[in-house]
């Protein structure tokens, strides 16, 4: 596999934490062995920040990922973000990426964990994360994947991505830290009450209730950007939760045959954002807006702005799409 040019994807742009079905990590679960030595890496059931050998050893912030310990790392992502570095011995860029990630993760003082996975030894992981090239970095938060980048990325880019990743983690209640020498977890900072209500509703799969909580938060504080982004995300999740693979194929076929069918174009844009094809989704709606007028044009424009919130205002693809939108509108 060849390695494309680096294109970091800010976590806010990913099909974030609760877009079910984006990647099914459950297929990689393995039952615990009845006996034998414990796998390397953070052990299931070990208190956050503590290690099996005792608190004085400090936390393991870099783990070699295996089939045996993969599920433990996924479970750990409910406490701290876990960054999976998927690499291969034949890729010269892999070692540079691992060195950069190792150095940067260590500098965050236990707020991140790095899992290095040789995809030749663990090919199922590459399939689960839909890896197209190595090296690739993917974070996992609360068991859900957040694409980061493919190919090489310099240290400044990586730090910027990790800063955004930790903001997204905090907004979703993942505030833990594997504090060196500590035997227990740091207490996460509480979320604002309406944000906590939204998060609890998301955990229960009640996206309508989550959306209502975010709307109430926006009524109380219209400048609450996290609530605005959260509302856009849960509304997207709500639209997608009942869409089957067969439905997806049907709406894509309809959109291809009827480029001016509003519902079909909106549906495919949702699917593309959820699948990580952000640029395709935004370009699709900009093109529709450029071809149409009246209520359908306005409906597409409103949905496009909502998807901007899902992706994140700072994403370069949103900036380009905003420029394209201005050109077709004015």
Beta pairing, strands 144-150 & 136-141? antiparallel
- Domain ends where: 171, 202, 223? 171
| Same domain as 124, residue 50 | yes
| Same domain as 154, residue 136 | yes
Q: Which pLDDT score, from 0 to 100, does residue 185 have? A: 41
| Same domain as 166, residue 18 | yes
Range of the domain at 231: 193-240
Nearest residue to 81 (alpha-carbon basis) of 104, 99, 58: 104
Strand (E) or helix (H) holding 115? strand 113-118
pLDDT in tens, 228-239: 988 998 999 889
pLDDT in tens, 99-121: 899 999 989 988 999 999 999 88
- The answer on pLDDT for 315 being more than 60 is yes
Beta pairing, strands 82-87 & 113-118? parallel
By the 10 Å C-beta count (0-12 exposed, 13-18 middle, 19+ buried), 230 is classed as buried
Are the C-beta atoms of residues 97 and 158 closer than 8 Å to each other? no
Nearest residue to 158 (alpha-carbon basis) of 233, 235, 97, 239: 97
Q: What is the CATH number of the domain that holds 110?
A: 3.40.30.10
| Same domain as 202, residue 61 | no
Are the C-beta atoms of residues 42 and 72 closer than 8 Å to each other? yes
Domain membership flag for residue 179:
no
Give the pLDDT band (50/70/90) at residue 7. very low
| Same domain as 222, residue 207 | yes
Q: What is the CATH number of the domain that holds 313?
A: 1.25.40
Domain membership flag for residue 177:
no
| Same domain as 95, residue 197 | no
Q: Which pLDDT score, from 0 to 100, does residue 294 have? A: 92
Give the pLDDT band (50/70/90) at residue 34. very low
| Same domain as 201, residue 165 | no
- The answer on pLDDT for 175 being more than 80 is yes
| Same domain as 145, residue 59 | yes
Q: What is the mean pLDDT of the chain?
A: 78
Domain membership flag for residue 95:
yes
| Same domain as 322, residue 255 | yes
Give the pLDDT band (50/70/90) at residue 37. very low
Pull the structure tokens for residue 95: 């070692």
Domain count for the chain: 3
Domain membership flag for residue 117:
yes
Range list of H helices, 40-88? 70-76
Rounded CA separation 111/271 (Å): 32
| Same domain as 113, residue 235 | no
């Amino acid at each position: 596999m060849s390695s494309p040019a680096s294109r970091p994807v800010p976590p806010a742009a990913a099909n974030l934490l609760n877009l079910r079905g984006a990647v099914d990590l459950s297929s990689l679960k393995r039952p615990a062995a009845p006996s034998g030595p414990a796998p390397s890496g953070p052990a299931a059931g070990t208190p956050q920040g503590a290690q099996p050998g005792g608190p004085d050893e400090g936390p393991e912030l870099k783990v070699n990922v295996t089939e045996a310990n993969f599920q433990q790392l996924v479970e750990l992502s409910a406490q701290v973000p876990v960054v999976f570095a998927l690499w291969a011995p034949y890729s010269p860029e892999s070692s540079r990426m691992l060195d950069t990630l190792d150095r940067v993760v260590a500098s965050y003082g236990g707020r991140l964990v790095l899992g290095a996975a040789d995809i030749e030894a663990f090919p199922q992981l590459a399939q689960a994360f839909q890896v197209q090239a190595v090296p690739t970095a993917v974070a996992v938060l609360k068991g859900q994947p957040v694409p980061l980048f493919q190919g090489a990325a310099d240290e400044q880019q990586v730090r910027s991505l990790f800063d955004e990743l930790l903001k997204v983690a905090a907004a979703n209640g993942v505030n833990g830290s594997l504090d060196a020498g500590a035997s227990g977890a740091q207490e996460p900072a509480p979320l604002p009450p309406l944000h906590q209500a939204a998060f609890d509703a998301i955990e229960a799969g009640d996206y309508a209730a989550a959306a209502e909580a975010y709307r109430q938060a926006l009524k109380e504080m219209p400048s609450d950007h996290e609530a605005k982004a959260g509302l856009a995300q849960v509304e997207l999740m709500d639209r997608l939760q009942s869409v089957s693979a067969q439905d997806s194929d049907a709406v894509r076929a309809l959109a291809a045959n009827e480029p001016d069918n509003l519902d079909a174009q909106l549906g495919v844009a949702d699917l593309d954002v959820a699948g990580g094809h952000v640029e395709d989704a935004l370009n699709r709606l900009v093109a529709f807006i450029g071809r149409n007028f009246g209520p359908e044009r306005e409906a597409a424009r409103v949905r496009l702005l909502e998807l901007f919130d899902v992706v994140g205002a700072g994403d370069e693809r949103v900036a380009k799409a905003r420029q394209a939108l201005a050109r077709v509108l004015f």
